């Protein structure tokens, strides 16, 4: 997992509440367990005018010109601005995979579904919860200013907008440590490899018969 320290990027709006994981990445794309390759199918049902299929070349698919991610002003956006209860629905980890593969590394919303919120941290995405009134103001600024961008600094827990405003945010210290250092669950376990081996050796010496049985 890539570490998250400072992110500077264009902000794209997803201006609807209760965006569920099936909208983020539809069910037909869940057959693959690779973490890459889902970006072209992100928000497939609202991004395109036809139904997408796994492995499909999206180059010439008819697009929904009214959808924000299809508009030139939001090209290469790295921050997604969303509404309440983002990531609700099923617990598919493909949702953060698709967002990260597209290029989003930070999502700002008034609230998130719990499982999705946790999955973001495990996949290198920083989900930030802000007061609904603050999010409303950010949406207004995004729409009013083409090229609107943010610098998100995890160490200082601040967001600096291209209009010169600064917004503070909260993040759990353990999650902050993992994201800042690029530690997913596997990496965290590997960090304790010496302690695990020592623990196992202790049991091997105390109860060698246990290890003889499972040879």
Question: Domain boundaries in the chain?
Answer: 6-182, 184-215
Cα separation of 98 and 124, whole Å? 12
- Per-chain mean pLDDT for the chain: 93
Assign 214 a pLDDT band (cuts: 50, 70, 90).
Answer: low
Higher local confidence (pLDDT), 37 or 33 = 37
Half-sphere exposure of 145 (CA within 13 A, CB side): 16
pLDDT at 206: 81
Report the predicted TM-score, pTM, of the whole model to 2 decimal places: 0.89
Please report, to the nearest 10 degrees, the dihedral formed by the alpha carbons of residues 8, 67, 73, 149 taken in order. -30
Q: How far apart are CA 43 and CA 19, in angstroms?
A: 10
Domain 6-182 annotated CATH 3.20.19.10: yes
Nearest to 30 by CA among 123, 93, 105: 93
Calculate mean pLDDT across residues 48-59. Answer: 93
Query: Could you give the percent of the chain with pLDDT greater than 70?
Result: 99
Nearest alpha carbon to residue 79 among 114, 130, 22, 45: 130
Asked if residues 94 and 25 have their Cβ atoms less than 8 Å apart, the reply is yes
- The pLDDT of residue 20: 97
Tokens 């590394």 correspond to what residue? 105
Q: What is the mean pLDDT of residues 100-123?
A: 97
Q: Phi and psi dihedrals of 42, rounded to 5?
A: -60, 130
Q: Contact at 8 Å (CB) between 133 and 110?
A: no
Instruction: Report the alpha-carbon angle 48-45-152, nearest 5.
Output: 90
Q: What is the pLDDT of residue 205?
A: 78
49 Cβ neighbours under 8 A, 6+ residues apart: 61, 62, 63, 64
Predicted confidence band of residue 61 (pLDDT cuts 50, 70, 90): very high
């Amino acid at each position: 997992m890539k570490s998250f320290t400072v992110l500077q990027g264009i902000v794209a709006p997803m201006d609807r509440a209760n965006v569920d994981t099936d909208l983020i990445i539809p069910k037909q794309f869940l057959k693959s367990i690779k973490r890459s390759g889902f970006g072209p199918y992100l928000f497939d049902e609202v991004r395109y005018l036809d139904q997408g299929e796994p492995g499909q070349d999206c180059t010439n698919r008819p697009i929904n010109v009214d959808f924000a991610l299809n508009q030139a002003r939001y090209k290469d956006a790295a921050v997604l601005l969303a509404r309440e209860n983002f990531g609700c629905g099923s617990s598919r980890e493909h949702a953060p995979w698709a967002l990260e593969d597209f290029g989003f590394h930070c999502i700002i919303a008034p609230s998130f579904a719990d499982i999705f919120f946790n999955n973001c941290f495990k996949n290198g995405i920083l989900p930030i919860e802000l007061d609904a009134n603050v999010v409303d103001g950010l949406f207004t600024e995004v729409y009013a200013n083409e090229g609107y961008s943010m610098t998100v600094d995890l160490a200082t827990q601040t967001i600096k907008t291209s209009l010169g405003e600064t917004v503070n945010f909260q993040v759990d210290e353990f999650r902050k440590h993992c994201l800042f250092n690029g530690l997913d669950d596997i990496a965290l376990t590997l960090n304790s490899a010496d302690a695990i081996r020592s623990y196992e050796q202790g049991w091997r010496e105390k109860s060698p018969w246990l290890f003889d049985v499972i040879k």
